[in-house]
Structure 1
């Protein structure tokens, strides 16, 4: 994109960028071109359409070219823009955390459905904090604790809690280690579930830019689920719930792990696409 010899109007820039990002394998290239241009110009999408014939200022075009170059290298749009909406809230995202995904809202809905009166909630592997913070707003009576193994992830989660006016207890450590001897009415987790062999085949946006610690689920993708199923009963109140986000096709294996650990009332919940996205169980033993 040469800026010296041509006049780049809004429409011309969008047309060029759509073709460029499409060639680079970016899905929804036109929409992403618009989002990037909104960021560079300070306009919303309606503003872009109302200014199709307006030339971009030099500083706007320079900022836009930089962002388009990054996206052409398949850096996630959310990293370039710096945030992602989730459950009606806005979350800071960096390479240190998974980008919040719409599928995970299935876990929130099921948590509210199964444990609407929960007084204590534990989020294992909180990442950006999107689950814990959203549950803070959905379950206002509950005290929320969030754990992560990564100090950098917890730093982002704390910033997101402050940004979204959520009072969360954040603890550093692996699985249940930071909450020894405590019990909860509800435990939720979106653990790593990609098999180690499949990591190389992920989209570049995920493979090259999101934290491997939050992706690699071991040889069969179930390493974290084995730990969660086996250890959660020691940290659940009687009648407490363990609810887990899973990868496509993992529902039967995870349900078996929960049943073998003594959970009952096993649930398997589909997302809006009909894919089983959440498996959970209730702990009745005292």
Structure 2
């Protein structure tokens, strides 16, 4: 099949899953990934016939998309803060709102050079910070061994020197003091699951997504407790948060003696990030 026929195949296979314009956009992404044709080159080469192995990959990706597999997992990569990251079903797909968190940290120009990222997943936060804070010592922690392996591959891919530690956020201890403590921990409650898209529920790691309805701030509390003893006097704690629990998160931080607390909305106007200082 040529590219025009392959696009028609995508439209036919995915008509019950995506709108036609979204199918075209996805097909463009797949084409650039598989045969390095950007959108402009694709427009001029609809009669191009991919190699047999490439055609097989196109067809396999269409089949995967039809079963709600995320395109990033099917391609094995995602883009975050200007860099490419390997992704698989052991790590969350990096989100644009997390890019905003990284941007906020860098914008604040926190003094100091020690950083720790809890629940690192693909390593996107830790690696992006290291690439922009070149002299910083960056540590990243995750409970999943598979996630640590993926994050380590991403550090090598992006030439970022990050120390990865396999450990549980809830019990991790260290004698080191940090200037930046950051986390995008699990924060989606069971009650919110019904609102989520099927491709997320079926394929992204629940370990990195969900918390119990009874203690939705479990991980935030543990990391805040860690910060009480491990944050430098002028250091800053950064969280990505559940938009529905901003007031509760701020209240928890105040109860734990954090004095300077700032809430920031994401580009969609949702309460998404908090910074706190002692």
State the TM-score, normalized to the length of structure 2: 0.92
Q: Give the counterpart of 1:266 among 252, 261, 265.
A: 261
- Corresponding residue number in structure 1 for 2:97: 103
Bigger shift: 229-238 or 158-167? 229-238
Please give the per-residue CA displacement for 1:50-70, whole angstroms capped at 9, x wherever unaligned: 111334454432221111001
- Corresponding residue number in structure 1 for 2:17: 24
Bigger shift: 79-88 or 109-118? 109-118
**Distance in structure 1 (CA, Å) of the matches to 2:176 and 2:209:** 27
Change in Cα spacing, 1:117 to 1:140, as seen in structure 2 (3 Å) is farther
Bigger shift: 219-228 or 248-257? 219-228
Bigger shift: 273-282 or 111-120? 111-120
- Corresponding residue number in structure 1 for 2:235: 240
- Corresponding residue number in structure 1 for 2:203: 209
- Corresponding residue number in structure 2 for 1:51: 45
Bigger shift: 211-220 or 223-232? 223-232
Bigger shift: 255-264 or 169-178? 169-178
Partner SS state of residue 244, structure 1: strand
**Distance in structure 1 (CA, Å) of the matches to 2:99 and 2:62:** 29
State the TM-score, normalized to the length of structure 1: 0.90
- Corresponding residue number in structure 1 for 2:273: 278
Bigger shift: 221-230 or 138-147? 221-230
- On the 8 A contact 2:6/2:58 being kept in 1, the answer is no
- On the 8 A contact 2:111/2:235 being kept in 1, the answer is no
- Corresponding residue number in structure 1 for 2:82: 88
Partner SS state of residue 144, structure 1: strand
**Distance in structure 2 (CA, Å) of the matches to 1:163 and 1:256:** 40
Note the C-alpha offset of 1:92.
0.3
1:249 pairs with 2:244: yes
Partner SS state of residue 154, structure 2: helix
- Corresponding residue number in structure 2 for 1:65: 59
- Corresponding residue number in structure 1 for 2:107: 113
Note the C-alpha offset of 1:121.
0.6
- On the 8 A contact 2:170/2:222 being kept in 1, the answer is no
Bigger shift: 195-204 or 237-246? 195-204
**Distance in structure 2 (CA, Å) of the matches to 1:11 and 1:258:** 56
> Cα RMSD over matched residues?
1.9
Q: Which runs of 5+ in 2 are unaligned?
A: none
Q: Give the counterpart of 1:141 among 129, 135, 138.
A: 135
Q: Give the counterpart of 1:130 among 94, 99, 124.
A: 124
Partner SS state of residue 268, structure 2: coil
Bigger shift: 81-90 or 268-277? 268-277
How many residue pairs get aligned? The number is 276
- On the 8 A contact 1:269/1:278 being kept in 2, the answer is yes
- Corresponding residue number in structure 2 for 1:12: 5
Please give the per-residue CA displacement for 1:157-197, whole angstroms capped at 9, x wherever unaligned: 10000010100111111127444222111100000010023
Please give the per-residue CA displacement for 1:86-145, whole angstroms capped at 9, x wherever unaligned: 000100001110111111012112212334322111100111000000000122231101
**Distance in structure 1 (CA, Å) of the matches to 2:152 and 2:10:** 35
